[in-house]
Amino acid sequence: MSGLSILDGKLRKVISSNLLIEANILKQNLITVYLESYNSLLSDIVLNKDSLSNPELFYEDYKKALTSFNYFDSSVETITEFKYRIPTEDTFTFNGRLSFIKLLINGVVGTYYELPEAGYMKLVSTISGDKFRDYIINLPKFFSEDTPSENRFYLLGYEEKLHKIVSTILRKDLIMFPFSNTPPINLFSEGISFFENTIDGVINRVIDDSINFIKRGTN
C-alpha cells in the first residue's frame, strides 16, 4: 500500500471519529434548543390550575423522546456517508402522550373539554345507547400505559353541548381544553433553524481539525 493510501485511510478514520464526537455534542445542543422552544412557546398559555393539559405535565415525555430519537447512523465510516436526522413533523414519532405534541403542531379547530380517565370509565360503565357509547369509547386519549391514572384524560368535543350532558352524569363541571381554537404551534422550527445554521460549520471544523491532526503526526 502506498504512503498516500495509508494517509488517506488514516484521515478517513480520524474524520469518522471526530465526526461522531461532534455529532453527539450537536445532539445535546439540539435537544436543549427544542426544550427551550417548548418552554418559551407554551409557558404563557393560561391554564386552569386543575387542567390535565398543562404542558409541564408532558415535558419529561417530550424530553425522553428527544433524547432517544435516532439522530445519526453510527455505522458509517466516512463523512460522505454520514447521515444526520433531526426531529421534524415528518420524522418525530407521536406515540402515546406525545399525541398531545402532534395536536399542538397541527393546531386545534373547535372547542373541547378535558374528560379525566375516572370520568371516562364511569361513563363507559353507566351510559346506555350504542351511539353515545361508541362516541365516548372513540374519544382521543392523551396518555400511555405508564402515565399515572390521575394524569390521564380524553378530549370531548363541544358537539351539541354534549359536555353538559356528561357533566350532569358525572356531577362535575369539565375543564375546557386550553388549546381549543388555536393555530398550529411550530415547536420544531427553532431546532431546525439551529441545525441548518450549525451543521456546515461542524463539518468544516471536523475536516480542518482532522487534517491538522494528521499533519502534526507526519511532521
26 lies in the same domain as 65: yes
Q: Which of 35-49, 70-84, 133-147, 151-165 is predicted with the least confidence, judged by mean pLDDT? A: 70-84
10 lies in the same domain as 26: yes
23 lies in the same domain as 48: yes
Helix (H) or strand (E) holding 211: helix 189-218
What's the whole-number average pLDDT of the chain?
85
23 lies in the same domain as 99: yes
Q: pLDDT higher for 132 or 215?
A: 132
9 lies in the same domain as 89: yes
Rounded to two decimals, the pTM is 0.84
79 lies in the same domain as 146: no
Sheet holding 175-176, edge to edge: 153-157, 112-116, 175-176
Alpha-carbon dihedral of residues 145, 103, 86, 148, nearest 10 degrees?
Answer: -20
27 lies in the same domain as 84: yes
For the chain, give the number of residues.
219
Question: Angle CA(134)–CA(138)–CA(139) in degrees, nearest 5?
Answer: 120
Q: What is the pLDDT of residues 58-114, one digit of tens each?
A: 999 999 999 999 987 655 545 556 678 899 999 999 988 999 999 999 999 999 999
81 lies in the same domain as 140: no
Q: What is the pLDDT of residues 194-219, one digit of tens each?
A: 999 998 888 888 777 777 777 776 55
141 lies in the same domain as 34: no
Question: Domain span at residue 145?
Answer: 112-176
125 lies in the same domain as 141: yes
The count of domains in the chain is 2
97 lies in the same domain as 138: no
66 lies in the same domain as 157: no
CA neighbor of 119 nearest in space, from 159, 80, 152:
152
CA neighbor of 19 nearest in space, from 205, 218, 214, 216:
205
